[in-house]
Structure 1
Amino acid sequence: MELKSLPPRITRHSGSRNGGAAPVSEEEGGGGEEEQQRIMPDDGAVVYQVYKERWFGLAGLMLMNIVISWGWLTYAPVSDSTQIWFGLDSQSPVNWLATVIFFTYGLCGLLLAVLYTLNRHGVKPALMASSFLVLVGNWIRYSCTQRKSFGGVMFGQILIGFAQPFVLSAATHYSDLWFTSRGRISATALTSFSNPFGAALGQLINLMLATSPEKIPEMTFWVAIIATVASLPWWFVKSRPPTPPCASAVGKKLGFKESLGVVFRNRGFLLVFVMFSVYLGFFNAMSSLLNQIMLPYGYTADEAGITGAILIVAGLVTSAIVSPINDRTHSFLTAIRIFVPIIALSYVALIFAPRTHTLAAPFAISALLGAASFSLLPLVLEWAVEQTHPAPPELTNVTLWVGGQILGAVFLIIMDALKDKDDNDKMWKSLIFEAVVACAVSPLTLMLGHSANRRIEIDKVAAQRIGAS
C-alpha cells in the first residue's frame, strides 16, 4: 500500500507540476482514484490521491522502452548473418548500428527538447514523439534491408536512437508525478528495466527469426510490425494526474538554471554520476558484444543469446524483490554499497568465463551481474532525485542516462579495437579493460555521505501533521 498524505494547510496546487489543479473533495474525485485522504482546514478540502490510470501510462513507457531497445540490438545477435547479407568486410560496421544509438542520446539539442517536453508538457507528448520516430525508423530499416542498403539501415537506426531519450528519461519524472514515496522505486524500476528486457527479447527472438543471412529482411519486418503495434495506443496516455499523489509532488520545481546549480554542485550526485555512467556503459557495451565475446571460444550464437537472456531475466527477478523492499526501507546507500562491488567482481570473473568452454561459468556470472546491475539502476535514479529535490527529476535522469549511453559508445569502440586479431578476434583484452575500470570506480561508494532523502522527509512530515490533527 502506498503512502497518501498531505500537509494540513495546502489548499490549492496552482503553479505545481500537476497542472494547477484545484483541490477536490471525495465526491469530485470521480471513479478513477484508488485511494484518497482528506483533511478539512478552515478554508476548504484538500485531497491527495493515486489513480488507476497511472498503470496505463507506466505500461506505455515500458512498451516503448522494450521496442526501442529491441531496435537497438536488432542486428547484434545475428552480427555474422548481417555481415554476410550486406556484404561487409567485418562485423565492426554492425557494431556501429548499436553504437550510434548511444551517441544519439547525447546530442545536446535533442536532450534540451526532451527536458522541455517533459517539464512543460508531460509524458504524453514525449510518448507521441517517441512512437513517431520508432515507426518511421523501423520501416525505413525494413525497406533498406530489402535493398541491401546498409547506409539506409543506419539512418533508420539513428531515428530509433532519437526516440529513446523521450521515454528512457521519463522514468523518474513519471513516478514523481503519479506515485508516492512508497512506490516510486518500483515504478522507476519497471520503466527502466523494460529497456534491457527488450534487449533480451532481441537476443533470443532475433536468433530464431534470422537463421540464415537471407532471413535478415524478414527479421527486420517482424521487428517493425511489433514496434508498430506497441507504439500506437500510447497516444492516449494522460500527461498528469488531476491531483497530486502526496505532499512532495505538490511543490513547484526549480527553474532550469537554478536546477543546474543544485545538481552539479551536489558532491554525492557527481560521485554517483561517475559510477552509474561507467557501469551502465559497460553493461550496454557487453550486451552489444556478447555474441562476439563468446563465439571465438567455440560457443554458438544460440548459447550467446541464452547467456544474454539469463543476464536480463536474473536482473528482472532480483529487482522485482529488491525494489519493493527499498520502497519501504529507503536504504539507498546501503544497497548501493552492496551492489557496486558485486558488479565490479562480476566483470573480473567474466575475463575467465569464456575460457572455461563450459556453459555453467558464463551463465552463472551473467546471472550475478544482471541481478546486481538491475537492482542498482532504479536505486541510483531515485536516490539522485531525492538528493537534488526540488530540481526536476527529469534533469538528473537525463544526466545519468547520457553518461551511461555516451560511455557505452566509447567502451564499445575501445573493446572492439582491443580484439586479438592474431587469435580469432578473441576479446580477452577487452574484458580485462572492462574489469580494471569497473574495479577502479567501485571505491567511490565509500565517499558517499549520509544525507536526507528530501521528498521522503516532506511526506513523513505531512503524515505526522495529519496524525496530530
Structure 2
Amino acid sequence: EEELAERPSARQAVRNLGTHFHELFRNRDFMFLLVSFSIGLAVFNGMLTVIDQWLEPFGYSNNQAGIAGGTLIVAGLAGAAVAGILMDTYHNYRAILKGCFICALAALTFLCLMLFRHNYPLVLVGFGFMGFFTLPILPGIIENAVECTYPMPEESSSGLLFCCGNVLGIGVTLLMAKLVKSADNRPFTAANLFLVASIALCVLIVLPYKGQYRRLEAERGHTRVSSSEKALGEERDPRIAGHHQEDNSMERPLLVDPSAV
C-alpha cells in the first residue's frame, strides 16, 4: 500500500510529460535533432514501404525489391555497430551524426543515379551504402538528444523523436505512393528528387547543431569531485592516508636476507 501511495497518479504523469515536452520544444539544440530526425525517419519508412512500387518502373521484380530492402537492413545493422563502437570510444557524437547524414545523402544520390534497367548489382551496392550510413543515424540522434537535454529523462526525448517521425512518416508514405508510379525523366524522377531533396534538407538542418555534452560533462565532473573529496579526506585525517599505507605495506612481499638463513 505504501508503494502504491508513493507512485504518481496518471494525471500527474501526464502533467510531468507535458512539462518535459514543453521544455524540449524550448531547447534549440534539440529542435535541430527533432526536425532532421523526423524528416529522415519519415523518408526511410516511406521508402521501405513502397520499395517494390519504387523499383517496378525500372524493371525490377518484387523479389529483387525484397532483396534490396534486406541488403539495406543488413548493411544498416553493420553500420550501426560500427557507429556504436566509435561513439563509445571517442564520444564525439556530433561529428559522427553529421558524418552519417552527409554520407547518407551521398549514398542516396548514388542509388538514384544507378536506378535504371539491367543494373541490379550496382542498385544493391547503392542500397547497401544507403543502409550502412542511414541506420547509424538512429543511435547518433538518441545519444545527442540525451546529451543536450540532460538531466531530462531519456524516455521523454526519445519518445518525442519517434512520435514526430512516425506521424510525419504517414504523410510521406502516402506522397511516395503517388510519386513512384512514374519513372519519367529517369534517373531524375519525381520520387528520386523528393528523396534526395529531403535528405539534403536534413543535412542543412543538422550541420549548425552544436549541442553540449551535458551528461558526459556531468559524469566527468562527478569523477573529478569524487577524487578530490578522497584527497581532501586524507588531508583532513592523516589516519586515512596511514591506513592506505598500511594496506600497501601488507600487500608487499616479505623479503628475507639470505645471509641471515
Bin the TM-score by the shorter chain: 0.7 to 0.9
Distance in structure 1 (CA, Å) of the matches to 2:125 and 2:43: 18
Matched, 1:456 2:213: no
How do residues 296-375 of structure 1 correspond to structure 2 at under 5 angstroms?
296-375=57-136
Distance in structure 2 (CA, Å) of the matches to 1:365 and 1:420: 21
Aligned partner of 1:466 in structure 2 is 226
Distance in structure 1 (CA, Å) of the matches to 2:175 and 2:58: 20
Q: Considering only aligned residues, what root-mean-square deviation do their CA atoms show, in Å? A: 2.7
Distance in structure 2 (CA, Å) of the matches to 1:262 and 1:336: 23
> How far did 1:334 drift?
0.6
More off after superposition, 454-463 vs 372-381: 454-463
Work out which of the residue numbers 172, 192, 198 in structure 2 matches 1:437. 198
Aligned partner of 1:282 in structure 2 is 43
> How far did 1:354 drift?
2.3
Unmatched tracts of structure 2, length 5 or more:
1-5, 231-261
Indicate conservation of the 8 Å contact 2:37/2:141, yes or no. yes
Distance in structure 1 (CA, Å) of the matches to 2:36 and 2:150: 21
> How far did 1:431 drift?
1.8
Work out which of the residue numbers 392, 410, 423 in structure 1 matches 2:171. 410
> How far did 1:347 drift?
2.6
> Which SS does the other structure have where 2:113 is aligned?
coil
Distance in structure 2 (CA, Å) of the matches to 1:421 and 1:432: 12
Larger RCO: 1 or 2 (CA < 8 Å, sep 6+) = 2
Distance in structure 2 (CA, Å) of the matches to 1:301 and 1:270: 38
Relative to structure 1, the CA distance from residue 283 to residue 322 in structure 2 (aligned partners, 3 Å threshold; closer, same or farther) is same
Normalized against structure 1, the TM-score is what?
Answer: 0.43
Indicate conservation of the 8 Å contact 2:148/2:211, yes or no. no
> How far did 1:420 drift?
4.0
Work out which of the residue numbers 185, 208, 215 in structure 2 matches 1:447. 208
How do residues 44-55 of structure 1 correspond to structure 2 at under 5 angstroms?
none
Indicate conservation of the 8 Å contact 2:80/2:135, yes or no. yes
Indicate conservation of the 8 Å contact 1:269/1:384, yes or no. yes
> How far did 1:343 drift?
1.6
> Which SS does the other structure have where 2:119 is aligned?
coil
Relative to structure 1, the CA distance from residue 420 to residue 315 in structure 2 (aligned partners, 3 Å threshold; closer, same or farther) is closer
> How far did 1:422 drift?
8.9
Aligned partner of 2:54 in structure 1 is 293
Distance in structure 1 (CA, Å) of the matches to 2:215 and 2:165: 25
Question: Counterpart of 1:444 in structure 2: which amino acid?
Answer: I
Distance in structure 1 (CA, Å) of the matches to 2:161 and 2:98: 18
Unmatched tracts of structure 1, length 5 or more:
1-18, 21-115, 121-253
Q: What is the number of residues matched between the two proteins?
A: 219
Indicate conservation of the 8 Å contact 1:293/1:427, yes or no. no
Distance in structure 2 (CA, Å) of the matches to 1:450 and 1:397: 16
How do residues 75-154 of structure 1 correspond to structure 2 at under 5 angstroms?
none
Distance in structure 2 (CA, Å) of the matches to 1:380 and 1:422: 33
How do residues 5-404 of structure 1 correspond to structure 2 at under 5 angstroms?
255-404=16-165
Distance in structure 1 (CA, Å) of the matches to 2:171 and 2:72: 22
Normalized against structure 2, the TM-score is what?
Answer: 0.75
Relative to structure 1, the CA distance from residue 462 to residue 419 in structure 2 (aligned partners, 3 Å threshold; closer, same or farther) is closer
Distance in structure 1 (CA, Å) of the matches to 2:182 and 2:82: 43
Aligned partner of 1:31 in structure 2 is none
> Which SS does the other structure have where 1:449 is aligned?
coil
Relative to structure 1, the CA distance from residue 378 to residue 400 in structure 2 (aligned partners, 3 Å threshold; closer, same or farther) is same
> Which SS does the other structure have where 1:351 is aligned?
helix
Offset from partner CA, 1:156-191 (integer Å, 9 cap, x none)? xxxxxxxxxxxxxxxxxxxxxxxxxxxxxxxxxxxx
